[in-house]
Amino acid sequence: MSHLSHSQQPIAGGILAGGEGRRFGGLDKGWIAYRGHSFVEQVLSRLQPQVDELLISANRNLDRYQALGHPVLSDRLGAGPLAGLLRLLESASRSWLLTAPCDALDLPTDLARQFIEIQRSQDADVVVLTDDDGVHPTVSLTRASLAPDIEAFMRDGGLSLQRWQSRHRVVQARRGGVLCNVNDATALDELQREPVHG
């Protein structure tokens, strides 16, 4: 159940777990374990309390993802984050979709609130996270009605999520520090060596 107040519009959440995992030797990144839990379970635990429904974009191990108890959607056009976003937007029953990749292990617990406040104050179509490491286009709040525009963009040969976002009114949500985005095996090794706090 969402922790959003009634003054904020209900939103859907989506986890992008449909990648090929090439930087992990072809492993399904969502099921890589870190400190006893898979990546996708850790992202789900952070995202679910902030949204009113949760969807998962995945293209393999579908039974395992479905066992998490949320709808699982496979790409129907193209591949990559933009293809996953298209399926999530098409299937969301809310007007807005908050997405995160399955390797963003430390999503802020107030991300939805911050993004909604920025969207309302600046009438944005898309809000994206930016931190000390740069822009994270897959961590975004997107207007669900833009799904047809993604399809048109992709059918014209467009592949880049960030380029598609730039077609619309995009506002960056700035946070200090660096998002824990585990992109490859080296990053995971470094993370595993960090001490556990608390």
User: What is the full per-residue pLDDT of the chain (198 aa) written as tens digits?
Assistant: 454 443 457 899 999 997 654 554 568 889 988 888 899 999 999 999 999 999 999 999 999 999 999 999 999 999 999 999 999 999 999 999 999 999 998 899 999 999 999 999 999 999 999 988 899 999 999 999 999 999 999 999 999 999 999 999 999 999 887 676 666 555 555 555 554 444
How far is Cα 71 from Cα 92, in angstroms, rounded to an integer?
10
**Boundaries of domain holding 17:** 12-193
Q: What is the dihedral of CA 38, 41, 42, 44, to 10 degrees?
A: 160
Q: How many domains does the chain have?
A: 1
- Residue 36: per-residue pLDDT: 87
User: What pLDDT is stored for residue 101 in this prediction?
Assistant: 95
DSSP type of residue 54: E
Q: Is residue 109 part of a domain?
A: yes
Distance of alpha carbon 52 from alpha carbon 62, whole angstroms: 22
Domain-located, residue 5: no
Looking at residue 177, what is its pLDDT? 77
- Domain presence at residue 120: yes
Domain membership of residue 3 (yes or no) is no
User: Is 7 a domain residue?
Assistant: no
Burial of 196 (0-12, 13-18, 19+ CB in 10 A): exposed
**pTM for the whole structure:** 0.86
**Of how many residues is the chain composed?**
198
Residue 6 lies in a domain: no
Q: What CATH number is given to the structural domain containing 99?
A: 3.90.550.10
75 found inside a domain: yes
Report pLDDT for 9. Answer: 73
d(CA 179, CA 130): 9
Residue 193 burial (CB count, 10 A): 7
- The verdict on residue 4 lying in a domain is no
